[in-house]
């Protein structure tokens, strides 16, 4: 098994290091880079406008990192009268480290659908919700919370942008290296990888690779693109990806 990890830095590099430490052949080719989001400067004001019992959702560790930079630089504290939620355990732990407050998260799959099952999120009439996220992404969380009575404010804390590769050159290199297993952690990156690889290498190599993804939704998308050998990790963190690669 020769593994290509497309997860962005630093998590992608960390996963490759762990795989190599276990004797696996693994390469890192991040498909996405990150930069500060357009709403980051107004995040402190957005938090200050929330009332006791309002809710803050953080959707990734990148959102935590960029939010911390602006809150810390302003010399502010995270309001203790708010309720904090994260999409999964790693993001919740990262948020807890910077705010020292409880952060709720779904104990099963790290996706919006399971987060929305939490009992405290069923009736939200009169509540304000601030969602810290990247550019674009799914609207399921905000739309559902709005249907349950909340007023929603999105704050783009970071921007994702594609890293450009020469498709022919990289595809030939990956095929020569014997890459037969791909780790892809978002639909955006799966589409980017599919588009990057030219038709010849797509049919002769890419779609024949084993594909490791992090949700059933992503597995369905992969099937639509033409993959047939797909495994869904039981979560989106590197521990779960290591288990899926056993």
Instruction: Please tell me the total count of domains within the chain.
Output: 2
CA dihedral 4, 109, 104, 37 (to 10 degrees): 40
Note whether 227 and 174 are same-domain residues: yes
| pLDDT grade for 107, boundaries at 50, 70 and 90 | confident
CA dihedral 111, 113, 115, 116 (to 10 degrees): 160
Q: Final residue of a domain: which of 141, 160, 179?
A: 160
Q: Final residue of a domain: which of 125, 160, 195?
A: 160
Residues 6+ apart with CB under 8 A from 77: 71
> What is the mean pLDDT of the segment spanning 68-92?
93
Note whether 6 and 82 are same-domain residues: no
> What is the mean pLDDT of the segment spanning 177-186?
96
For the cut 90, the answer to whether the pLDDT of residue 193 exceeds it is: yes
Whole-Å CA distances, 3 to 9, 16, 29, 132, 135: 16, 9, 11, 32, 29
| pLDDT grade for 237, boundaries at 50, 70 and 90 | confident
Note whether 21 and 53 are same-domain residues: no
Tell me which residue range forms the domain holding 13: 2-31+163-244
Q: Radius of gyration over alpha carbons of the chain, in Å?
A: 19
Backbone angles phi, psi at 86, to 5 degrees: -130, 160
Q: How far is CA 225 from the centre of its chain?
A: 21
Note whether 13 and 66 are same-domain residues: no
Q: What is the CATH number of the domain that holds 122?
A: 3.40.50.10090
| pLDDT grade for 9, boundaries at 50, 70 and 90 | confident
| pLDDT grade for 96, boundaries at 50, 70 and 90 | very high
Note whether 193 and 156 are same-domain residues: no
Note whether 19 and 107 are same-domain residues: no
């Amino acid at each position: 098994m020769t593994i290509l990890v497309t997860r962005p830095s630093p998590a992608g590099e960390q996963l490759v290091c762990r795989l190599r430490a276990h004797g696996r052949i693994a390469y890192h080719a991040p498909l996405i880079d990150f930069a500060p989001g357009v709403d980051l400067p107004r995040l402190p004001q957005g938090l200050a406008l929330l009332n006791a019992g309002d809710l803050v959702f953080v959707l990734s560790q990148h959102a935590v990192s960029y939010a911390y930079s602006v809150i810390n630089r302003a010399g502010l504290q995270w309001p203790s009268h708010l309720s904090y939620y994260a999409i999964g355990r790693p993001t919740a732990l990262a948020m807890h480290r910077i705010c020292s407050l409880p952060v709720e998260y779904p104990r099963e799959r790290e996706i919006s659908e399971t987060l929305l099952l939490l009992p405290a999120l069923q009736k939200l009439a009169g509540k304000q919700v601030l969602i810290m996220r990247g550019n674009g992404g799914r609207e399921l969380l905000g739309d559902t919370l709005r249907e349950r009575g909340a007023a929603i404010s999105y704050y783009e804390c970071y921007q994702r942008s594609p890293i450009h590769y020469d498709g022919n050159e990289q595809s030939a290199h990956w095929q020569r290296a014997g890459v037969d297993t791909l780790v892809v952690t978002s639909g955006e990156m799966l589409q980017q990888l599919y588009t990057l690889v030219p038709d010849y290498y797509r049919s002769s190599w890419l779609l024949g690779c084993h594909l490791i993804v992090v949700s059933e939704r992503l597995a369905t998308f992969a099937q639509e693109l033409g993959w047939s050998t797909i495994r869904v990790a039981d979560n989106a963190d590197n521990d779960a990806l290591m288990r899926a690669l056993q």
